[in-house]
């Protein structure tokens, strides 16, 4: 049944109101025909015969008359098949690379459905990223959602690109592909990613969904959903291992706030809508692995913390949903260290079950624990040294300072082209831990100290 209406009652920001409608259903997709083109929207509220429609493209230039509004009766769906590999789409899943639309395949609702917890497989296999700080201290596990908390101007894109380039899962574990969702990022950032994909030869294994900074804001709300639907298709229908990079979550949340304000909803913290948590969860929880499929979805969302504030609602709510976080620090960046990862607030919740004997190496959990504990002590010693001067420190404290420097310049620091395997990373870890006296290593099982301690 196709129903068309020929006028709008109201246009306000991204919302239009249509009156006198019948049989409209919640969340269905609306096609709005204008003299000079077609726009899409979604029903976000219905009351009696009035429907509020959120328009994906820009509403500027729209008039209340001379339009034709058609309710399709379906939620937003995109067509998916293996052909999407190597293709580029806009924020609502239309091909923009000149290759024409996807014709064959199945149509899936971009909103997805929650994975039943009894159908999940618990993630246990680690992905080697070749970056020491991540592999050793915040190990990425296949099927995990591990965001990068960054700040403006920090090299989060470079780290994400390095992960894509070097990510390695165990041999013979199926195909690997990348789904890339750009939300409100700059054109040059988008080019940077495209170039890295090209240089590392993965371009034909990448699916891109692009909503750049000057693209319509409302489209940004569906961009990650299209990308995750494509990821679910590739992972669960085609049994592939998918790495999803979503950047920048902060732009996504701001788009959400903009629409919420236009709808005159009661705001929560800092003007973000009260449902921000549920909304973000509906993205992040789409990572994982399910029974009956060999595929997996691993997410690396990137967000820039406004004013580098980790307690801002966006990083805060993200951290409550994701399985850990990798936090970048401006202070470390200014010391000219790459990657500038601040390990203390960084965390991988799933690493406990995916490292150690049978996965990486038996001493890995203790080593990671010890580095966290000792590096946190280093911070106290630095604070003390600033007050009383380095010369006044006790011998042990001076060792800690030396350890801290070695950690930052030998272990943390590595080149963009440098790909260290986990054994190499652990060996460097022992090199620097051996700076400390043996009995300061109180988190390590004595038998590992006997085996690995230098000297």
Partner 1 sequence: MGGSIGKIIYVNGPVVKANNMRTFKMREMVTVGDKKLIGEVISIDGDIGTIQVYEETTGLKIDDDIVSTGKPLSVTLGPGIVGNIFDGIQRPLNIIFDSTGNFIKEGIGLATIDKSKKWFVKLTKKNGDYIHGGDIFGEVEETKLVKHYLMVPPNIKGKIEYIADDGEYDLNTTLIRLDSGEELKMYQEWPVRIPRPVKERMPIQKPLITGQRVIDTFFPIAKGGTAAIPGGFGTGKTMTQHQLAKWSDADIIVYIGCGERGNEMTEVLEDFPKLIDPSSNLPLMNRTILIANTSNMPVAAREASIYTGITIAEYFRDMGYNVAVMADSTSRWAEALREISGRLEEMPAEEGYPAYLPSRLAEFYERAGYVKTLNEKEASVTIIGAVSPAGGDFSEPVTQNTKRFVSAFLGLDRKLAYSRHYPAINWLSSYSGYISHLEDWYSENVSKDMMNLRGEMLKILQEENKLQEIVKLVGEDVLPDEQRLILETAKLLKVGYLQQNAYHKDDTYVPLDKQYLMLKVIDKFYKEAQQVIKIGVPISTIKTSDMFYKIIKMKYEIPNDYGDLFNKMLEEIDEYFLNLKKAYEGD
What part of residues 393-422 is at the interface with partner 1 (CB under 8 A)?
Answer: 393-394
Of the pair 243, 326, the CB lying nearest partner 1 is at 326
Whole-number minimum distance, CB 75 to partner 1, in Å?
6
Q: 62, 212, 321, 401: which one contacts partner 1 (CB under 8 A)?
A: 321
Whole-number minimum distance, CB 169 to partner 1, in Å?
18
Whole-number minimum distance, CB 318 to partner 1, in Å?
8
Under the binding rule (CB under 8 A), the answer on residue 203 touching partner 1 is: no
CB atoms within 10 A of CB 330: 14
Of the pair 174, 345, the CB lying nearest partner 1 is at 345
Span 163-182, contacts to partner 1 by CB under 8 A = none
Under the binding rule (CB under 8 A), the answer on residue 286 touching partner 1 is: yes
Q: Under 8 Å CB-to-CB from 48, ≥6 apart: which residues?
A: none
Whole-number minimum distance, CB 71 to partner 1, in Å?
10
Under the binding rule (CB under 8 A), the answer on residue 130 touching partner 1 is: no
Token output for 373 = 């504990």
Under the binding rule (CB under 8 A), the answer on residue 382 touching partner 1 is: no
Of the pair 237, 430, the CB lying nearest partner 1 is at 237
Q: 119, 170, 173, 335: which one contacts partner 1 (CB under 8 A)?
A: 119
Under the binding rule (CB under 8 A), the answer on residue 112 touching partner 1 is: yes
Whole-number minimum distance, CB 83 to partner 1, in Å?
24
Q: CA–CA separation, 297 vs 207, rounded Å?
A: 14
Of the pair 275, 430, the CB lying nearest partner 1 is at 275
Under the binding rule (CB under 8 A), the answer on residue 447 touching partner 1 is: no
275, 317, 231, 210: CA torsion to nearest 10: 80
Of the pair 212, 393, the CB lying nearest partner 1 is at 393
Q: 81, 125, 369, 434: which one contacts partner 1 (CB under 8 A)?
A: 369
Q: CA–CA separation, 194 vs 209, rounded Å?
A: 12
Residue given tokens 């459905």 in the structure block: 113
Q: CA–CA separation, 76 vs 56, rounded Å?
A: 11
Under the binding rule (CB under 8 A), the answer on residue 125 touching partner 1 is: no
Under the binding rule (CB under 8 A), the answer on residue 358 touching partner 1 is: no
Contact 347, 144 (CB under 8 A): no
Whole-number minimum distance, CB 187 to partner 1, in Å?
32
Q: Alpha-carbon torsion 235, 327, 285, 51, what sign?
A: negative
Q: 275, 416, 430, 453: which one contacts partner 1 (CB under 8 A)?
A: 275
Span 18-77, contacts to partner 1 by CB under 8 A = 22-28, 44-49, 75
Span 75-104, contacts to partner 1 by CB under 8 A = 75
Beta-strand pair 296-304/126-127: unpaired
Q: 388, 415, 417, 455: which one contacts partner 1 (CB under 8 A)?
A: 388
Whole-number minimum distance, CB 254 to partner 1, in Å?
18
Whole-number minimum distance, CB 197 to partner 1, in Å?
28
Question: Of the candidates 112, 347, 133, 147, which has an alpha carbon nearest to the alpha carbon of residue 245?
Answer: 147
Q: 118, 172, 358, 455: which one contacts partner 1 (CB under 8 A)?
A: 118
Under the binding rule (CB under 8 A), the answer on residue 384 touching partner 1 is: yes
Site size with partner 1, rule: CB under 8 A: 87
CA 30 to chain centre: 29
Q: 143, 184, 301, 340: which one contacts partner 1 (CB under 8 A)?
A: 143
Q: Under 8 Å CB-to-CB from 69, ≥6 apart: which residues?
A: 4, 5, 6, 8, 18, 30, 31, 32, 33, 53
Span 204-243, contacts to partner 1 by CB under 8 A = 236
Contact 345, 327 (CB under 8 A): yes
Binding segment for partner 1 among 62-70, 117-125, 413-421, 426-434 (CB under 8 A)?
117-125
Under the binding rule (CB under 8 A), the answer on residue 2 touching partner 1 is: no
Q: Under 8 Å CB-to-CB from 314, ≥6 apart: which residues?
A: 249, 250, 253, 272, 276, 303, 305, 306
Under the binding rule (CB under 8 A), the answer on residue 365 touching partner 1 is: yes
Q: CA–CA separation, 412 vs 342, rounded Å?
A: 9
Q: CA–CA separation, 142 vs 353, rounded Å?
A: 12
Q: 192, 372, 416, 453: which one contacts partner 1 (CB under 8 A)?
A: 372
**What distances in angstroms separate CA 325 from CA 146, 301, 302, 338, 428, one per listed residue?**
5, 10, 10, 17, 23
Q: 282, 298, 304, 414: which one contacts partner 1 (CB under 8 A)?
A: 282
Q: CA–CA separation, 213 vs 181, rounded Å?
A: 13
**What distances in angstroms separate CA 116 from CA 1, 291, 349, 437, one per listed residue?**
34, 10, 20, 49
């Amino acid at each position: 049944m196709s129903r068309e209406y020929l006028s709008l009652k109201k246009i306000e920001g991204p919302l239009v109101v249509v009156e006198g409608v019948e049989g409209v259903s919640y969340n269905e997709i609306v096609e709005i025909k204008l003299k000079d083109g077609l726009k899409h929207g979604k029903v976000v509220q219905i009351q009696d015969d009035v429907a509020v429609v959120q328009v994906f493209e820009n509403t500027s230039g729209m008039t209340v008359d001379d339009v034709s509004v058609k309710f399709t009766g379906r939620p937003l769906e995109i067509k998916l098949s293996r052909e999407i590999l190597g293709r580029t789409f806009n924020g609502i899943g239309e091909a923009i690379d000149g290759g024409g639309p996807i014709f064959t395949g199945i149509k899936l609702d971009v909103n997805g459905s929650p994975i039943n917890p009894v159908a999940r497989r618990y993630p246990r296999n680690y992905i080697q990223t070749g970056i020491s700080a991540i592999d050793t201290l915040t190990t990425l596990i296949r099927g995990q959602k591990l965001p990068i908390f960054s700040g403006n101007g920090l090299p989060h894109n470079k780290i994400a690109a390095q992960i894509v380039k070097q990510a390695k899962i165990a041999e013979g574990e199926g195909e690997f592909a990348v789904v890339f969702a750009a939300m409100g990022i700059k054109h040059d950032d988008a080019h940077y990613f495209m170039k890295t994909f090209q240089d590392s030869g993965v371009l034909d294994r990448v699916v891109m969904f692009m909503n750049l900074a000057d693209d319509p804001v409302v489209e940004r709300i569906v961009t990650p959903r299209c990308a995750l639907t494509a990821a679910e298709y590739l992972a669960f229908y085609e049994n592939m291992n998918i790495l999803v990079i979503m950047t920048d979550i902060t732009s996504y949340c701001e788009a959400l706030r903009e629409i919420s304000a236009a709808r005159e909803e009661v705001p929560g913290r800092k003007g973000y809508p009260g449902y921000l948590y549920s909304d973000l969860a509906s993205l992040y929880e789409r990572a994982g692995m399910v029974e009956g499929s060999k595929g997996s979805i691993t997410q690396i969302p990137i967000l820039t913390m406004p004013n580098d504030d980790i307690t801002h609602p966006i990083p805060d709510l993200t951290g409550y949903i994701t399985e850990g976080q990798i936090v970048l620090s401006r202070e470390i960046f200014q010391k000219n260290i790459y990657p500038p990862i601040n390990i203390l607030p960084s965390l991988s919740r799933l690493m406990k079950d995916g490292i150690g004997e049978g996965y990486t190496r038996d001493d890995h959990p203790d080593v990671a624990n010890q580095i966290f504990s000792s590096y946190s002590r280093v911070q106290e010693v630095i604070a003390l040294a600033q007050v009383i001067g380095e010369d006044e420190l006790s011998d042990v404290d001076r060792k800690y300072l030396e350890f801290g420097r070695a950690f930052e310049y030998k272990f943390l620091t590595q080149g963009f082209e440098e790909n260290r395997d986990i054994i190499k990373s652990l060996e460097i870890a022992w090199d620097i831990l051996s700076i400390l006296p043996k009995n300061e290593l109180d988190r390590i099982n004595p038998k590992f100290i006997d085996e690995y301690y230098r000297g």
